[in-house]
Amino acid sequence: MVERSDVSRTCSVIGCDKDVERSIAFKKVDDSGLDVGEDSGRKAGLCKEHYREYKKLTKKDRVLENIGR
């Protein structure tokens, strides 16, 4: 039996072959503007670089969301 941590996954962004660091909801990543291609499931795996880019692209939305709380 193979454990989940032993399975190496690559980043969901088209053209990137780095290992996944974080998993984010596919819809949120797609809405942010990152090129993840076709719907590959419920979660999109992002490498460290693309996760940082995702955070920068969604900063304004996250700030506005926190103000509403």
Digitized pLDDT (tens) for each residue of the chain, 69 residues in all: 545 555 568 999 999 999 999 999 999 999 999 998 876 678 999 999 999 999 999 999 889 989 877
- Residue 55 falls within a domain, yes or no? yes
DSSP characters for 5-26? GGS--B-SSTT--PBP-EEEEH
- Residue 58 falls within a domain, yes or no? yes
Number of domains in the chain: 1
- Under 8 Å between Cβ of 40 and 20: no
- Residue 1 falls within a domain, yes or no? no
Pairing of strands 43-46, 22-25: antiparallel
- Residue 51 falls within a domain, yes or no? yes
Containing structural domain, residue 58: 8-67
